[in-house]
Amino acid sequence: MTSRLDRLEAAGFVERTIDPADRRSFRVRLTDKGFATVDEAMTAHTANVTRLLSALDGKRLGALDDLLRILLRALDG
């Protein structure tokens, strides 16, 4: 985890500060650059999902929704 945070911090995506309640810990937050990068990625991801699902009509989207709900319930245990 530390090496990943080091790379993200070096790239300017996150910043770390010492947790005032526990000086052994750090708080990590996204920088403006990090927020912008996440926003771009989510926008692209949403557009891709929309493109993929556009091949399905309403009935098939409903069936997919039902199947995904079953899988999610199975994951919840």
Q: What is the pLDDT of residue 46?
A: 98
| pLDDT on residue 74 | 96
Q: What is the pLDDT of residue 18?
A: 93
Start-to-end CA span in the chain (Å): 28
What value does the CA radius of gyration of the chain take, rounded to a whole number of Å? 19
- Which amino acid is located at 29 in the chain? R
DSSP SS3 for 1:
coil
For position 38, what pLDDT does the model report?
97
pTM value surpassing 0.75: no
Walking along the chain (77 residues) 10 residues at a time, the average pLDDT comes out as 95 95 93 98 98 96 97 92
- pLDDT confidence of residue 1: 87
Tell me the CB-side half-sphere exposure of residue 51, using CA atoms within 13 A.
Answer: 6
- Using CA atoms, how far apart are residues 30 and 3, in angstroms rounded to an integer? 16
